[in-house]
Structure 1
Amino acid sequence: MKRISNLYVIDDDKIYHFLLKNLFKQNGIDVASTFFINGYDAIEHIKSNKDKDSDILPDLILLDVNMPIMNGWQFLEEFGKLSPGLQKKPTIYMISSSNNEVDINKSKEFEGAVKGYFLKPICKEDLDKIFV
């Protein structure tokens, strides 16, 4: 597995947060995880920490599509504006319950930013793809 020190999970489903923590534990994935319930909170956190030690910024972001306040697409737009000034360039995966072709194809428009699209609930095989 590649070394992921810091993970951001941006998803409004707190049950999913709980399940994901357990999935990590069951599969021996030891990573510092920060959970956000919408894209806005995550963007504000990144903005307020972008000039600090790069260890605060994520190596990996698991991003939901449908969330209140700021959805995954809006997060990607805002993150794209911040990205050039960041000390660290995280890998981003979309994790969604939407199997709509429009969403899957839209994730491909963010080539270079979004590495892949996984359907919820993610499983051990998905984690192997994400963390390898």
Structure 2
Amino acid sequence: MIEVVGTGRLLSLQDRLVIADGLINRESMRSIAARLGRPTSTVTREVAAHRDEQGRYAPHRAHRDAADTRARPKASKLARPGALREYVVDGLSRKLSPEQISNRLKVDHPDDESMRVSHETIYQALYFQARGGLGA
């Protein structure tokens, strides 16, 4: 058995090979996670996200897919024009904090999931604006 201590936040190819080896040997997710020094939920999510059509876990493909996903970050909800962005810009112009805006959205639009944004996303947009983007 390969004994590996998890290093860093992201799974390495070696980590994924240990997961595949554990699955082939019918180890529990908990046992595999312990060998990696990772939370069980990390291994469970990894396997669920990267099974093929036949339900098999392919570590090399999983590693490539994870790298591709990291290389293409999702655009911020506030980067696109629309009602959510207008609401946030209006709240900021009224000197509301990002936390207040985020909480207020839940009250003002309780049934509209598209009108949700975390305070962290608002802070990121403000940082981006200060660097020359997201005109308000």
Asked whether the two chains share a fold, i.e. TM above 0.5, the reply is no
- Name the one with the larger helix percent: 2
Query: Whose radius of gyration is greater, 1 or 2?
Result: 2
Higher RCO, 1 vs 2 (CA within 8 Å, ≥6 residues apart)? 1
TM-score, normalised relative to structure 2: 0.25
